[in-house]
Amino acid sequence: MRRGLAAGLVAGVLAGLVGLVAGEPALGRAVALEEAADLAARGPGSAVARGGQRAGLVVGTSLAGLAVGALFGVAAAWAVGRVEGGAWARSLKLGAVLVAAVVVLPAIKYPANPPGAGDPVTLSARTTLYLGLVALGLVLAAIGWAVGRLPALARLRVPARQVLVGAGVGLVAVVVAAALPDLDAGAAVPAELLWSFRLGSLATQAVLLGATAIGYGLLADGAER
Amino acid sequence: MTARPVPLRALTWPFLGALLLAALVLYALAFDQGALAAPVTTAMAEDGGVLHEFFHDARHLLGVPCH
């Protein structure tokens, strides 16, 4: 059992790296946009050269992939026997829930901003709210899992149960997100650029998490056979 | 094949380890404003430090509020 855990951790780390390789093309396109935004906002001459920052992007997402992969490995080990389906199905389910809770929910309420769009004065407030919403998304996902296992719901067929719980969690998420304070959107950035950047950001995050789930699922499925 | 759930106790240390790794990495990546690099170099302190500038793009694309 312990060996399985270790394998899960290693696989999670590997999956994080795999996620990066797969995410590269999406990153490249977004960087070009972001660079344009940076030039427009601050002018040339930021402290680290743009080439360095682009390398930093890859290093940064690699490290993030590693961290995400390690956590994912533990979560997947937890899911054995607690989430329905084989290793592959479990991994995909976890990945989908993660993307919804950590990427989609925060992106709807507090979308990513390109450089120069935010007011430095509100930075710490924005950071706190953003992180709070990420944490809330995870808590909601956990609550949804727990509710789905209530004996009262066990008599329902699986699709009915999943729709019911999913709708409930989604509703709560919408209510919570609506209750949180709004933030000023970036005013200084052209709307078209803002939109492109946010799409690129969404793609990057979704690929990072999604590829982690897929990579882990492949490895775990292979180990299960 | 029905797998038995792994007891939560067996997951404690892996979880804490992964959490620690993630906390360190993500802090340096996403939230450091110069504190981590301060013992080594104070260059670029006004812009949030070396780490901030180096990971700048990753920070933005991963959706973390930056500036």
Range(s) of the domain holding residue B59: 32-67
Contacts B4 to A, Cβ<8 Å:
80-81
Residue B17 within any structural domain of the chain: no
Query: In angstroms, how far apart are the furthest CA atoms of chain B?
Result: 58
Among B1, B18, B59, beta carbon nearest to A71: B18
B27 found inside a domain? no
| Phi, psi values for residue A49, rounded to 5° | -60, 155
Confirm whether B6 is domain-assigned. no
Q: For residue B1, list chain A residues with Cβ-Cβ distance below 8 A.
A: 86, 224
Would you state the structure tokens that stand for residue B53, as one six-digit string? 């500038």
Between CA B57 and CA B47 the distance in angstroms is 14
Polymer length in residues for chain A: 225
Ranges of residues in chain A whose predicted pLDDT is under 70: 1-59, 114-121, 184-193
| Residue B42 resides in a domain | yes
pLDDT of residue B1: 46
CA distance A87 to A4: 12
Q: Does a structural domain hold residue B51?
A: yes
What is the predicted pLDDT for the residue at A116?
A: 61
Residue B48 lies in a domain: yes
Residues near A156 by beta carbon (within 8 Å), at least 6 away in sequence:
A164
Mutate which of B19, B32, B56, B59 to test chain A, going by most A C-beta atoms within 10 A? Answer: B56
What confidence score (pLDDT) does residue A43 get? 47
Task: Say what the pLDDT of residue A45 is.
Answer: 45
Q: What is the pLDDT of residues B16-33, one digit of tens each?
A: 887 887 777 777 666 666
CA atoms of B27 and B14, how far apart (whole Å): 20
Residues of B in contact with A204 (CB under 8 A): 61-62
Instruction: Judge: A48–B17 Cβ closer than 8 Å, yes or no.
Output: no
Taking the C-alpha atoms of residue B10 and residue A6, their distance in angstroms, rounded to an integer, is: 11
The per-residue pLDDT for range A12-71, each reduced to its tens digit, is: 555 555 555 544 555 555 566 556 655 555 544 444 556 666 666 666 777 777 778 788
Q: Is B27 on the interface with A (CB under 8 A)?
A: no
Measured between beta carbons, which residues in chain A are less than 8 angstroms from residue B67?
115-116, 118, 120, 123
Q: Which residues of B touch A103 (CB under 8 A)?
A: 63
Q: Give the pLDDT of residue A1.
A: 45
Count up the domains in chain B and report the number: 1
pLDDT of residue A108: 83
Query: Phi, psi (5° rounding) for residue B58?
Result: -60, -40
CB–CB contacts below 8 A, A to B: 158
The list of chain B residues with pLDDT below 70 reads 1-3, 28-67
